[in-house]
Structure 1
Amino acid sequence: MNVSSIMTKNVIAATLPTTRADVLRLMVKYKKTGLPVVDEEGRVLGIVTRKDFFSHPQEEQVAIVMRWDPPKVSPSTAVERAAKIMVENNARRLPVVKNGKLVGILTPTDFLKVVVKRKIDEPVERYMEQQCFTIFKLTPANVAAKMINLSGVFAMPVLDEHGEICGMITDRDLFNIEYLRESISLTKLGISEDEDEWSWEGLRNVMNLYFQEAKVHLPKEPVEKFMNKDVVTVFRKKPLWEAAEIMLKRDFDQLPVVDVHDELLSILYDIRVVRSLVPP
């Protein structure tokens, strides 16, 4: 199996020269968290993600923020080889190029489908993280945002007073429309006021940037008011393909891993699942 059979076509890309505001508008409109950057002839120059902007909240020039010359693959590259490149470079986006031009892109989601199709049955625990960052349910939302930005961990299990998992929180969850919509001026943020040009789901992907710039303020309400209470976990002995299937169905890029007593052990990230496709 080669890349052409699993890649995503019709790629949304940013074209240099461009501005931060223009890239953010693309991310919001198309609900993307990262984009390939190309020149006017469609040649891949780099990758820019929302996390790149979060790391440089005062920088307006995309050419400075983006990561230049990312690893690339061709449509004829074997899936296993592409998985190896993604894992070794910790790259969540692999541009696919043909004759020097962008023709597709690979993300962990594309590889998860292969894991499910091949019914890879290694146990989840073999691929889960060794460390797991958690947060207490009464932590104020504004403090939680600081913790997320300082740690670089954008999704955390939430624990109750008994140390048991009671929810999941991401930076996107913190920017809840019920709390923030009335106080946000899209024009001030540099995003069109036209409802057809944006969605709240897309806007939440980049709202953390405006929080860091102090253009948006989070309430001091506890995390438990923002967290996702519908917690989906996976047993550590479950076959990996079943975890991948859950991720695909629920549009998750991580799953908390539990033991036989439902005690939290760690977390499984989608890019770790991709490792199962890399030949030994």
Structure 2
Amino acid sequence: MSTKVIDIMTHNPIKYSVPSTISDVVRVLIKNNVTGIPVVDSNNKYAGVITRRDIFFNPNETQTAIVMRRANTVYEDDDIEKAAMEIVKQNRRHLIVIDKNNEVTGILTPQNFLSVVRERYSDILVKEILSAPAFPIWDETPLNVIFSSMLISKTFSFPVLDRDGNFTGLVTDRDIFDKVKMSSVEMLSQAGIADDEDPWTWDGIRNVFTYIIEKSNVKIPNIPAREIMVKNPVVTYINARLGDAVKLMMQKNYNQLPVLDGHGNLAGMLYDIEILSVFGR
């Protein structure tokens, strides 16, 4: 018996409606510590999806209807193979699930599929599916340059190499944000989305930090990558079983893992979206 979308999806996701502003959506993302939400119209019908990446790629837009993507959806009774390949095709982390009435009933991210990957495709080797590019940076690269590189390349995870080419750590967008010395109240106020009546979570703020930094005109400190990187990050190996790599992702809730060869040299980055390509085999 095939596994259906309804069997693995996250049910009853947080939604938002149009018309609305991006700052309204950012408030919802922060308060609920999520990175993407379905958007519905005035009749509660699916209208689109908006994520922190969509906001990041459209920093000057103010209206949700302009920034949201009218992306393809899947139905609750679709096979998970179809849903997995739709995520791979879109190359975005959030896929909306609807019913026959075009109403939103669920949401899928790569994390929803990982337990099935372990069950069905555990013995595939990491090197068999490794395809996404990796963008290493030197450990002396200044933080402000890393941030600029992120804006230009639309890459959010950078493996770090020393001057001899040795892999020494990992820098992600969240590691950059942790070095911005501002209180949440000050930052939200400068970004124009402060709201004293509602609680704000620091993790939620980190989810949309690029938007907040851009709106707040925050100065990025000029410190080298080696001072902010995650030293000795969790890694996988090019000849490791996919099931073992997926287990690490599930345990740590990671979206990616650096991949090393047998000599400990960087071989690439394994992303959870590319893992879903196994459903197309």
Question: Taking structure 2 as the reference length, what is the TM-score of the superposition?
Answer: 0.92
Aligned to 1:149: 151
Query: Aligned AA for 1:206?
Result: V
Matched, 1:35 2:37: yes
4+ runs deviating over 4 angstroms: none
Tell me the CA shift for residue 196 of structure 1: 5.3
1:41 Cα deviation (Å)? 2.9
Q: CA deviation at 1:62?
A: 1.1
1:205-216 matched pairs, under 5 angstroms: 205-213=207-215, 215-216=217-218
* 48-57 vs 256-265, greater mean Cα deviation: 48-57
Residue 262 of structure 1, aligned match among 261, 264, 269 = 264
1:30-75 Cα shifts (integer Å, max 9, x gaps): 122222111133211111121222222111111111112x111111
- Which residue does the alignment assign to 1:61? 63
Preserved contact between residue 48 and residue 65 of structure 1 (Cα < 8 Å): yes
Amino acid at match of 1:35: I
Question: Is the contact between residue 10 and residue 108 of structure 2 (CA under 8 Å) also seen in structure 1?
Answer: yes
Deviates more, 1:104-113 or 1:48-57: 48-57
| Alignment partner of 1:72 is 2:69 | no
In structure 2, the CA distance between the partners of 1:90 and 1:42, relative to structure 1 (3 Å rule), is same
Three-state SS of the structure 2 residue aligned to 1:57 is coil
Aligned pairs, how many? 278
What is the aligned-residue RMSD (CA, Å)? 1.9
Q: Equivalent pairs: percent with the same residue?
A: 37
Secondary structure of the residue that 1:48 maps to in structure 2?
A: strand
Work out whether residues 157 and 167 of structure 1, in 8 Å CA contact, stay in contact via their aligned partners in 2.
Answer: yes
Moved more, 209-218 or 105-114: 209-218
Q: Is the 8 A contact 1:177 1:200 kept in 2?
A: no
1:12 corresponds in structure 2 to 14
User: What amino acid is aligned across from residue 54 of structure 2 in structure 1?
Assistant: D
- 1:106: how far off? 0.8
CA distance in 1, matches of 2:198, 2:54: 26
1:246: how far off? Answer: 0.7
Q: Is the 8 A contact 1:36 1:46 kept in 2?
A: yes
The corresponding residue for 2:94 is 93
Deviations 1:236-273 (CA, angstroms, capped at 9, x unpaired): 11111211111111111111111111111111110111
Partner Cα separation in structure 1 for residue 203 and residue 175 of structure 2: 10
Deviation at 1:130, TM superposition (A): 5.2
Could you say which residue in structure 2 is the equivalent of 1:138? Answer: 140
- For residues 61 and 229 of structure 1, the distance between their equivalents in structure 2, rounded to whole angstroms, comes to 40
1:116-143 Cα offsets, whole Å, 9 max, x none, are: 2335311001111353101112211111
Task: Using the TM superposition, give the Cα deviation of residue 192 of structure 1 relative to its aligned residue in structure 2, in angstroms.
Answer: 2.9
Q: 2:172 aligns with which of 167, 170, 173?
A: 170
Structure 2 spans left out of the alignment, 5+ residues: none
Q: SS of the counterpart of 1:132?
A: coil
* 1:211 Cα offset (Å): 2.9
Structure 1 stretch displaced more, 247-256 or 191-200: 191-200
Q: Offset of 1:182 from its aligned partner?
A: 7.9
